[in-house]
């Protein structure tokens, strides 16, 4: 057992102070700063012996993890009950959210409202009683109170509280997540909303909601969520050494080089597209830290490649494709590298996981990721979103976004995974591979909104939740070097990049008669055979140009803070 850190003591003090005046409030704490432990010490102080607490979570896996942590860290033991609804058992949500079977839990759970009410009522009064429930199970809790005598809870804690926001057409049934706000649904004396990633609706969305007769649950609504009791963001956590800082690496990968070197795999892999293969090559280079600047800047003892990463894909099919094709694409790409000395001595192993896996299978995958890989080997776990929320892999080196993400919350939760501290870790990496079609000008390429949307989405999401990102974008707009936070890397074949470097630092070539070119009139000779050809120079120009264009576009697309008006979309769907 361990005691609270200073910021957790402060959070407790602020919660006690807040609850002396209000019956509900918010605590916002960055991923990895001990939110679960903070909720425990608040429950022990605000509720405590003889009192009842309701703890709400979005998934059964997070419920199981929370119970284990509370049991391990509680100053005095408590009685725990669990409620989960039949709807959540054994199903997989379409967007790959983890939903696991009741049988996966290490403690008995019930869906019977009467049984729950009787058990809680009979619980010993010399200890705290805690009911853990998924948001999906809220009707079980509600029925237990309304029909079977379960008393009002002394404290309700809503974990991952951003999930409780939403839009409901007036007169329609509320979602399970939104129901928690009203005592008419679940009675509680105090409510505490906790998250790393608050979600609010913008003015445009609120205006539309009024017009469409839609009720919004937005985390800036004090009547629903209460005032902000305590806040510690990502920037503060990094500065106070609670989290590792992160760096965004945007990889501009040349499709032409990849198509030339991976022809067999593209022909044989019916599902494999050039876009996928190109991103795979870029990810391989990034995981090997091939060409990244910050190695010297951080004074690494050696250029050790990354060892563990999570890859987030658009859907389960693409996640499985990445697992199947990654190694084969890289092997063919490397086999075409004729210079043995310049080949990277680096392997990548991949496994896929999704919300349909039971707890044992998923834990096997996570344990595989946590285990020490062999030297010069990186392990990558591919998924859609089931690992973005509530998963703790402390030694994670990178998260990879293969495709755009629908939710900025998903992005920040995912990046939170890579900011967990571990021994010897100086930096977490956020890797965004994008592809560059050969012969297309950067300006024209960047007009392809779908292809590059992933860059603007990821950076805007980070900007909304990391207070330091504003200054980074502003510095970029002023032309300052921000490669310690965001780096645009041009990825081509190694020999092309080496040749490019040689061109930049080259001495003046000699004419065939042995004279230096400076001794002849302009327009002289053929280049010597030893000189690099125009192709790599052209590649360097394109990638350098693209890097500048991307930076300019980042400033344009991310240069003003707004809380994404995308939330208006779910209102539009309801109104249809």
Please indicate, yes or no, if residue 530 is contained in any of the structural domains: no
Task: Work out the average pLDDT over 109-121.
Answer: 91
In angstroms, the CA 353 to CA 166 distance is: 28
Q: What band does 385 get if pLDDT is binned at 50, 70 and 90?
A: confident
Q: Which of 172, 197, 232 is the last residue of a domain?
A: 232
Please indicate, yes or no, if residue 521 is contained in any of the structural domains: no
User: pLDDT at position 197, please?
Assistant: 86
Is residue 87 over pLDDT 50? no
Q: How many CA atoms lie within 13 A of 257 on its CB side?
A: 29
More confident site: 2 or 332:
332
Is there a single domain that holds both residue 244 and residue 159?
no
How many structural domains are present in the chain?
2
Is residue 322 over pLDDT 90? yes
Is there a single domain that holds both residue 284 and residue 162?
no
Is there a single domain that holds both residue 449 and residue 394?
yes
In angstroms, the CA 493 to CA 498 distance is: 9
Is residue 368 over pLDDT 50? yes
More confident site: 444 or 574:
444
Is residue 303 over pLDDT 50? yes
User: pLDDT at position 570, please?
Assistant: 45
Q: What band does 342 get if pLDDT is binned at 50, 70 and 90?
A: low
Please indicate, yes or no, if residue 510 is contained in any of the structural domains: no
Is there a single domain that holds both residue 150 and residue 219?
yes
DSSP character string of 259-285: HHH-HHHHHH-TT--HHHHHHHHHHHH
**How long, in residues, is the chain?**
576
399 CB neighbour count, 10 Å cutoff? 25
In angstroms, the CA 362 to CA 65 distance is: 13
More confident site: 246 or 294:
246
More confident site: 9 or 251:
9
Quick one: CA dihedral 459, 376, 302, 337, positive or negative? negative
245-279 pLDDT, tens digit each: 999 998 888 888 888 888 888 888 668 899 999 99
391-437 pLDDT, tens digit each: 666 579 999 999 888 788 888 888 888 898 888 888 899 999 988 88
189-244 pLDDT, tens digit each: 999 999 988 888 888 888 888 888 899 999 999 999 999 999 998 889 999 999 99
Q: 77, 44 in Cβ contact below 8 A?
A: no
User: pLDDT at position 449, please?
Assistant: 65
User: pLDDT at position 284, please?
Assistant: 92
Is there a single domain that holds both residue 260 and residue 219?
no
Q: Which of 209, 232, 255 is the last residue of a domain?
A: 232
Please indicate, yes or no, if residue 509 is contained in any of the structural domains: no
Please indicate, yes or no, if residue 576 is contained in any of the structural domains: no
More confident site: 514 or 453:
453
479-527 pLDDT, tens digit each: 888 888 888 887 554 433 333 332 333 333 334 444 443 333 333 333 3
Bridge-based pairing state of the strands 155-158 and 191-195: parallel
Is there a single domain that holds both residue 403 and residue 452?
yes
Please indicate, yes or no, if residue 527 is contained in any of the structural domains: no
Bridge-based pairing state of the strands 214-217 and 166-169: antiparallel
164-174 pLDDT, tens digit each: 999 898 888 88
More confident site: 144 or 103:
144
Please indicate, yes or no, if residue 82 is contained in any of the structural domains: yes
Task: Work out the average pLDDT over 338-361.
Answer: 79
Is residue 531 over pLDDT 70? no
Quick one: CA dihedral 509, 513, 518, 524, positive or negative? negative
Averaged confidence pLDDT in the chain: 80
More confident site: 387 or 40:
40
Is there a single domain that holds both residue 33 and residue 155?
yes
CATH code of residue 213: 3.40.50.300
Is there a single domain that holds both residue 208 and residue 336?
no
Task: Work out the average pLDDT over 536-543.
Answer: 44
Percent of the chain's residues with pLDDT above 70:
78
128-168 pLDDT, tens digit each: 999 999 999 999 999 999 999 999 999 999 999 999 999 89
Looking at 310-319, 454-463, 553-562, which range is the least confident one? 553-562
Is there a single domain that holds both residue 201 and residue 299?
no
Is there a single domain that holds both residue 201 and residue 249?
no
Q: What band does 390 get if pLDDT is binned at 50, 70 and 90?
A: low
Is there a single domain that holds both residue 297 and residue 423?
yes
Please indicate, yes or no, if residue 524 is contained in any of the structural domains: no
User: pLDDT at position 201, please?
Assistant: 86
More confident site: 188 or 91:
188
Is there a single domain that holds both residue 253 and residue 185?
no
User: pLDDT at position 391, please?
Assistant: 63
Residue 348 belongs to domain spanning: 240-496+537-571
Q: Of 430, 441, 491, 438, which Cα lies nearest the Cα of 465?
A: 430
Q: What band does 544 get if pLDDT is binned at 50, 70 and 90?
A: low
> Which residues lie below 8 Å from residue 470, measured CB to CB, with a gap of 6+?
463, 561
Q: Which of 213, 232, 251 is the last residue of a domain?
A: 232
Task: Work out the average pLDDT over 37-42.
Answer: 98
């Amino acid at each position: 057992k361990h005691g609270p850190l200073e910021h957790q003591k402060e959070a407790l003090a602020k919660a006690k102070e807040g609850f002396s005046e209000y019956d509900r409030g918010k605590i916002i704490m960055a991923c990895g700063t001990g939110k679960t432990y903070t909720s425990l010490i608040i429950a022990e102080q605000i509720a405590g012996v003889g009192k009842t607490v309701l703890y709400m979570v979005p998934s059964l896996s997070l419920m199981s993890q929370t119970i284990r942590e509370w049991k391990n860290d509680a100053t005095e033991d408590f009685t725990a009950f669990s409620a989960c609804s039949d709807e959540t058992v054994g199903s997989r949500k379409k967007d790959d959210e983890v939903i696991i079977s009741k049988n996966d839990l290490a403690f008995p759970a019930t869906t019977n409202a009467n049984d729950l009410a009787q058990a809680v009522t009979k619980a010993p009064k010399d200890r705290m009683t805690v009911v853990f429930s998924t948001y999906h199970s809220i009707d079980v809790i509600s029925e237990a109170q309304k029909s079977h005598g379960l008393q009002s809870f002394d404290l309700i804690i809503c974990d991952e509280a951003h999930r409780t926001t939403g839009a409901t057409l007036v007169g329609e049934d509320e979602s399970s997540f939104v129901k928690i706000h009203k005592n008419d649904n679940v009675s509680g004396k105090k409510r505490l909303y906790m998250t790393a990633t608050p979600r609010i609706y913008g003015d445009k969305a609120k205006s539309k909601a009024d017009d469409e007769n839609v009720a919004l649950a937005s985390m800036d609504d004090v009547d629903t969520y209460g005032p902000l009791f305590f806040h510690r963001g990502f920037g503060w956590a990094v500065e106070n050494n609670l989290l590792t800082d992160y760096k965004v690496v945007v990889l501009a990968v040349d499709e032409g080089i990849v198509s030339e070197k991976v022809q067999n795999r593209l022909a044989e892999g019916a599902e494999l597209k050039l876009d996928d293969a190109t991103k795979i090559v870029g990810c391989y280079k990034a995981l090997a830290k091939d060409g990244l600047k910050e190695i010297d800047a951080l004074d690494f003892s050696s250029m050790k490649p990354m060892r563990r990463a999570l890859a987030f894909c658009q859907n389960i099919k693409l996640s499985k494709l990445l697992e199947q094709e990654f190694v084969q694409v890289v092997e063919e790409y490397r086999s075409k590298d004729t210079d043995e000395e310049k080949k990277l001595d680096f392997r990548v192993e991949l496994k896929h996981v999704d919300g349909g896996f039971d707890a044992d299978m998923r834990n096997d995958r996570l344990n595989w990721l946590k285990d020490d890989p062999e030297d010069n080997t990186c392990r990558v776990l591919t998924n859609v979103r089931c690992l973005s929320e509530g998963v703790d892999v402390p030694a994670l080196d990178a998260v990879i976004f293969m495709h755009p993400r629908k939710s900025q919350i998903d992005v920040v939760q995912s990046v939170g995974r890579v900011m967990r501290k571990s021994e010897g870790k100086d930096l977490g990496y956020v890797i965004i591979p994008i592809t560059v079609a050969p012969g297309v000008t950067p300006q024209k390429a960047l007009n392809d909104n779908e292809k590059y949307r992933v860059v603007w989405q990821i950076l805007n999401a980070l900007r909304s939740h990391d207070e330091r990102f504003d200054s980074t974008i502003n510095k970029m707009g002023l032309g300052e070097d921000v490669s310690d936070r965001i780096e645009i890397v041009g990825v081509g074949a190694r020999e092309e990049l080496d040749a490019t470097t040689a061109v930049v630092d080259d001495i003046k070539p000699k004419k065939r008669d042995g004279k230096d070119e400076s001794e002849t009139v302009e327009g002289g000779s053929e280049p010597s055979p030893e000189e690099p050809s125009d192709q790599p120079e052209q590649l360097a120009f394109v990638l350098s140009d693209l890097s500048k264009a991307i930076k300019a576009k980042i400033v344009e697309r991310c240069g003003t803070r707004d809380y994404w008006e995308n939330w208006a979309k779910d209102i539009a769907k309801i109104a249809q």
